[in-house]
Amino acid sequence: MSRSFPLSKLSRTFSWALLIAIAIAVLLRLVNLSHREFWYDEVLSLLLSTGQKTSYSTPKELPVTLADYTPLLSLPVENGIGAIPATLKKLLQGLAGEPHPPLFFLGQHLWLRLFGNGVAATRSLNVFFSIGAIGSAYGLGRRLLGHQGGLLLAALLGTNAYYLFHSLNVRMYGPLLLWVILSAWAALELIEPKRLTVPDKEYKDGEGSSFYTKLLWNLVFIGSIAAGFLTFYYFAFFIVALAVLVLWLDRQHWWQHGLRFVAGIILMIPWVLWGTRQQLRNADLERFGGTQTWMETVGKHLEGVTQTLGIHLVLGDWVTSLPLVSATIAGIGAIALLVVCSIRLWRQHHYRVLGVALLLGIFPLVLALMVDILKGQFTVGFGWGRSMIFILPGCLLLIAAWIERTMGKWRPLAAAIVLGFYLVISIGDFTLRDRRMFHQIADIIEQEPTTPTLIAMNSQAWGHVLRLAYYIPPDLPVTLLAQPPAKLAPVLEKTLNTQTGNFSRVLWLDSGDPIWSKPKTEAEKLTFQQNIQTTLKPQYQLVETQPLVGTMEEDQFTVHLYQRSQ
């Protein structure tokens, strides 16, 4: 619609509806900041961000005071500002054994210094980044689809259940989307504004932005591609997609775009030379492989792609509470929708916006799949699709373009259906599913706050140990004995025989997912449980059993509270 004519009443109503959806998306992030406890990986992010990962030690066969772990989740005590570089050095050293680059953890470290390590305070940085990503999505959408198309893309991203989860997750995946969207938006802005809408034969070189505007977008582009790679290594796939995009749309200025990419790469080099090399030496790449038949390999690759799209565009974090087949079914539906969107845009001759959306969304996924096939690995579907989260804005752009450019008078209804679905999924996720297991454990212990308690846990996984240390008040007399399932009973027996008078209560914490040492069979698991019961029975009496559930498999525990017999 030409800017010389006022918008119709219907169009204004549509714009206001999209703005309301965006406002709801922001509100959902704010009200749910501390709604759930940290999950397994979040508390690991906190440990890394404090710079104290190198001070962590796995519990041994001797019980330890649980409160000894609590300080690791706060910034270390520093004697003056001169001690800060030493803390930052330890932070980087801790990252050398991790598979992720440093930018997210450095940002989180600064945030801890400003606001502390509370759940809401810690997550607020990602919420801040996600609001920036939603605003940037408007800019990207407006650049391709106009004002209402920008609002629609921002609303789709903001209400998307998968992105809502990662906006409230202390991991690098949420902030990554800000760099994805900014780099794509800047790339399009650096292509002369008329080049996307004016046929090549009618375009006159130089009819573009001012020098200072171009300088700004150059800085945004260079900074975004460097920040994206230093946030998540798989962003490299998106960089390749951006390179193809600018060559397709503006190959006449390929060398100028090439210089921008080189400038961004130069910013990455210091970490690549120091940190990435160490990380590759410590990397456990075998976990992504596997020996399978040809048919099984093909099936697993297809399953990874299908489930990733289903989780990104349909289920969101709900997938952690549903059978895995639900992600496959959702993925088939998501693929069908993307195919319909592509066909409709192609038939109505919206080739450029279709090409941009496919390059930003589907092309990086195909690249990652090809690398997986060549290396014999299965990373595309890893972690409920989070390794591919950078494809989400491109996929949503494709849906937004379909609604904005092809639906005509049905545009508001189509947008309302998609946004309504996303809001139902997102709101339902945070209202129907809770994660407060460790609060419940703390509540049990605080019923007798002065009674010495031994927590016997069948897991040494640091995410389990650190969540206990974070949520159980450090002033309570709690001792931890954490061992693999097969070893817990004999080590517990030895502990009780040598420290018989030290513990009036034993809280046996039976993890449904010990992470590092899962029993091979249900029969083996049952045997380990019976051994612990036999060990406790002579001296202790069972007084309470309580199942604890969260939103993920790692959240499943059963608490057995034993009181010492008189």
> pLDDT for 513-553, tens place per residue?
998 888 889 999 999 999 999 999 888 999 999 999 999 99
Looking at residues 122-140, what average pLDDT do you find?
A: 97
What's the pLDDT score for residue 193? 54
Where do we find the tokens 């990652």?
A: 368
Phi and psi at residue 56, to the nearest 5° = -80, 140
Q: What is the pLDDT of residue 314?
A: 97
Task: State residue 115's pLDDT score.
Answer: 96
What is the rounded distance in angstroms from the CA atom of residue 91 to the CA atom of residue 109? Answer: 9
The pLDDT of residue 165 is 97
Distance between CA atoms of residues 404 and 140, nearest Å: 14
Q: What is the largest CA-CA distance in the chain?
A: 94
pLDDT of residue 3: 43
Q: How far is CA 353 from the centre of its chain?
A: 28
Query: What is the DSSP secondary structure assignment for residue 149, as one 8-state letter?
Result: H
Contact 164, 28 (CB under 8 A): yes
Mean pLDDT value of segment 96-122? 94
pLDDT (tens digit, 9 = 90+) per residue, 143-195? Answer: 999 999 999 999 999 999 999 999 999 999 999 999 999 999 999 999 865 45
Of the candidates 544, 224, 552, the one whose C-alpha atom is nearest the C-alpha of residue 390 is: 224
Q: With H, G, I as helix, E, B as strand and everything else as coil, classify residue 543.
A: strand
Q: Judge whether 503 and 454 are in contact, CB under 8 Å.
A: yes
pLDDT in tens, 351-405: 999 999 999 999 999 999 999 999 888 999 988 999 999 999 999 999 999 999 9
115-119, 290-294, 316-320: segment of lowest average pLDDT: 290-294
**What pLDDT, on the 0 to 100 scale, is given for residue 471?**
97
Relative to beta strand 453-457, strand 505-511 is parallel
CA distance 396 to 408: 19
Token look-up 């780099």 returns 183
SS3 202: helix
- Checking if the pLDDT of 469 tops 80, the result is yes
Helix (H, G, I), strand (E, B), or coil: what is residue 505?
A: strand
pLDDT score at 538: 84
User: For the chain, what percent of residues have pLDDT higher than 90?
Assistant: 81
CA 415 to chain centre: 26
- With cut-offs at 50, 70 and 90, classify the pLDDT of residue 11: confident
> Which has the closest alpha carbon to 224: 277, 282, 267?
267
Structure tokens at 364: 């990086």
In this prediction, residue 19 has a pLDDT band, given cuts at 50, 70 and 90, of very high
**In 407-522, which ranges are E strands?**
453-457, 478-482, 505-511
- What mean pLDDT do residues 97-115 have? 94
Q: What is the pTM of this model?
A: 0.93
Answer whether residue 100 shows pLDDT above 60: yes
Q: In what order do the strands lie in the sheet with 505-511?
A: 64-65, 478-482, 453-457, 505-511, 557-564, 540-548
Closest alpha carbon to 260 in 198, 190, 211 = 190
pLDDT for the residue 290? 62
Q: Which CATH number fits domain 437-564: 2.60.290, 3.30.1120, 3.40.50, 1.10.760?
A: 3.40.50
Closest CA to 73 of 103, 29, 108, 30: 108
pLDDT of residue 205: 46
The one-letter amino acid code at 73 reads L
**Is the CB of residue 101 less than 8 Å from the CB of residue 533?**
no
Among 132-136, 364-368, 379-383, 496-500, the minimum mean pLDDT is found in: 496-500
- What's the half-sphere exposure (Cβ side, CA atoms, 13 Å) at 264? 28
pLDDT in tens, 298-314: 889 999 999 999 999 99
Say which residues have a Cβ less than 8 Å from residue 533's Cβ, sequence separation at least 6.
none
The pLDDT, as a whole number, for residue 199 is 42
The residue ranking higher by pLDDT, 77 or 369, is: 369
Predicted local distance difference test score (pLDDT) of residue 77: 86
Res 230 pLDDT > 70: yes
Where residue 204 falls among pLDDT bands split at 50, 70, 90? very low
Q: Are 335 and 309 in contact (CB under 8 A)?
A: yes
Span(s) in the chain for CATH 3.40.50: 437-564
Banded pLDDT at 1 (limits 50, 70, 90): very low
- C-alpha to C-alpha distances, 222 to 97, 186, 376, nearest whole angstrom: 28, 9, 33
Q: Tell me what the mean pLDDT of segment 311-329 comes to.
A: 95
What SS3 state is found at 110?
A: helix
What value does the mean pLDDT of the chain take?
91
| Per-residue pLDDT at 208 exceeds 60 | no
Unique residue bearing structure tokens 């990397």 = 283
pLDDT digits (tens, 9 = 90+) for 261-280: 999 999 999 999 988 888 77
User: 362 and 395 in contact (C-beta within 8 Å)?
Assistant: yes
- Cα distance between residue 446 and residue 468, in whole Å: 14
Nearest to 559 by CA among 540, 549, 537, 544: 544
Q: Please state, in angstroms and rounded to a whole number, the distance separating the CA atoms of residues 126 and 129.
A: 5
Rounded to whole angstroms, the Cα distance separating 480 from 455 reads: 5
How deeply is 482 buried, as exposed, middle or buried, from its count of CB atoms within 10 A (0-12, 13-18, 19+)? buried
The separation between the first and the last C-alpha atoms of the chain, rounded to the nearest angstrom, is 84
Contact between 400 and 137 under an 8 Å Cβ cutoff? The reply is no
